[in-house]
Amino acid sequence: MQSRSVSHARGIDVSRWQGSIDWKQVREAGISFVFIKASQGSSLEDPKFAENVQGAKAAGLLVGAYHFLGAASAAAARQEAKHFVETMKKAGPLAWFDLPPVLDYENNPAGISRAAINQAAAAFLVEVERLTGRQPILYTGNAFAANFDESLGRYDLWIARYSETRVPDDRPAWNKWTFWQYTDSG
């Protein structure tokens, strides 16, 4: 995959674990966009989601939302997609979100097959696109990305590889990234 450049836009992702955020300070640090955790599984909502959306918007940042997938089947993934979109709507109209919605799929606690991983991801992504009218992004880690087949390559990739110099590896579905998360602090 490609290297990063100092000319690329800089952004962060946040969830309740960051506590109260000084969004003005974030903007002054040169951050231009943020992805905010909305939900996880079929019922969890990040308790800071709406507050973070409001604060980031007020600071003039571009805002997107993400969902941490826990589904082990396509049917469960569709349910999680519905939960995600309903959670987004609680923070404001879908039009408020400047960036596409994101599927965060980075582990396999249920031990499902590679085929089932792809079926769950595809089901979630298709359902979110149907519900929002926007093509979502897939977020994953450098190693876990090897689980996804070429059929998911039509979705933009946000990849985590915590290194400022080692570029993410080419994977069956992608040979370029749209977003590269190169650090877990900032």
Catalytic residues: 13, 106
Burial class (CB in 10 A: 0-12, 13-18, 19+), 4: middle
Place of tokens 């999680």: 80
- HSE value, Cβ hemisphere, 13 Å, CA-based, for 159: 28
List CB contacts of 159: < 8 A, sequence separation 6 or more. Answer: 1, 139, 140, 141, 142, 145, 168, 174, 177, 179, 180, 181
